[in-house]
Structure 1
Amino acid sequence: MVSYEAMARVLGLPGDARAGRTPFELISTIEKGLPVAALERVSHLLSPNDAQFKFRFVPKATYERRKAAHRLSADEGTRLARVVGVWELALDVWKTEEAARDFLFRSHAMLDDRRPIDVVLQNEIGGELVRDVLAGLKYGSAA
């Protein structure tokens, strides 16, 4: 299981803030609007060589408005948090950032030959499918 404190750390939320100590505090922080810097941080972490990756979360024109407001919408923050949760699980399974990235950005047979990152970004059901694949890898079932 992914810790909410780990998710808050990946999102770059202040360590002294209550933002991620419990699931409800993280939910509240997402609802109020994650800082745009969290999107920048996660985009760079997952796809360090692709400056356009952040636009998978927020369209470019919307991104410019979010930068001016300094906050993501609740839906954008939820999508970002979903990806962070899967990232943390991938790290737990694969142990290195490079191996976790390789898993997320390579097509997978159990996902209809789609890339896990694309499936996770699509919706919560996609996130569950990818988490199921990772759980299978972690606990030794077919994956």
Structure 2
Amino acid sequence: MIHGNEIHKMANVLGLEEVHGGYTMLMFSARIASGLPLRSIERVHKIVAPRYREFSTLIITKQTLGRRRKKREPLSRTESERLARIARVWSMAKDVYKDEDLARAFLSRPHQMLQGRVPLEVATETEYGADAVVEILGRLKYGSAA
């Protein structure tokens, strides 16, 4: 379950405008559903995975990104959900590690509990993938085997 403070952190990572009283879960959901601005990709890339050269391809194809830029269109709902999942796992990783470099290292290295796959990539595929990454982070945070 995502709580208000976590939504605030995710909104900040995504570069969303401040909302008086903060985002509720329903408001955040509506914002994602309406499509995030393209600038959110660059912001998340810079914060979460600055060394990941093809970061945007986790979210959107190069061709589609180019068309969206030309037309000044936002991300689709599906693309926005992918990017929000990255913001979610980043917020959790940062909370667990208390250090951005360590959080980045966790998200960018293959993990045994993900069948040797990279957490950042698993998290973008589906909500269940993001849940698997968050579960590992929860185990780390609360002292279980991970």
TM-score by length of 1: 0.92
Corresponding position of 1:37: 39
Q: TM-score, normalised on structure 2? A: 0.90
Determine if contact 2:111/2:118 at 8 Å carries over to the other structure: yes
Per-residue deviation at 1:40? 1.1
Considering only aligned residues, what root-mean-square deviation do their CA atoms show, in Å?
Answer: 1.7
Counterpart of 1:44 in structure 2: which amino acid? K
Amino acid at match of 2:123: V
Q: Shift of the alpha carbon at 1:21?
A: 1.0
Give unmatched runs, 5+ long, in structure 2. none
Partner of 1:28 in structure 2?
30
Q: Are 1:124 and 2:123 matched, yes or no? A: no
Task: Evaluate the alpha carbon distance shift between residue 102 and residue 80 of structure 1 in structure 2; reply closer, same or farther with a 3 A threshold.
Answer: same
State whether residues 58 and 121 of structure 2, in contact with CA within 8 Å, keep that contact through their aligned partners in structure 1: no
- Partners of 1:33 and 1:69 in 2: how far apart? 12
Q: CA deviation at 1:80?
A: 0.5
For residue 77 of structure 1, give the secondary structure of its aligned residue in structure 2: helix
**What's the offset of the Cα at 1:98?**
0.4
Specify every segment of 5 or more residues in structure 1 that has no aligned partner in the other structure, as ranges: none
* Count of residues paired in the alignment: 142
* Matching of residues 91-102 of structure 1 within 5 Å: 91-102=94-105
Kindly provide the CA deviation profile for residues 38-64 of structure 1, in whole angstroms up to 9, marking residues without a partner as x.
111001212213342112210000111
Which stretches of structure 1, 4 residues or longer, exceed 3 Å deviation after superposition?
Answer: none
Equivalent-residue separation in structure 1 for 2:114 and 2:53 (angstroms): 26
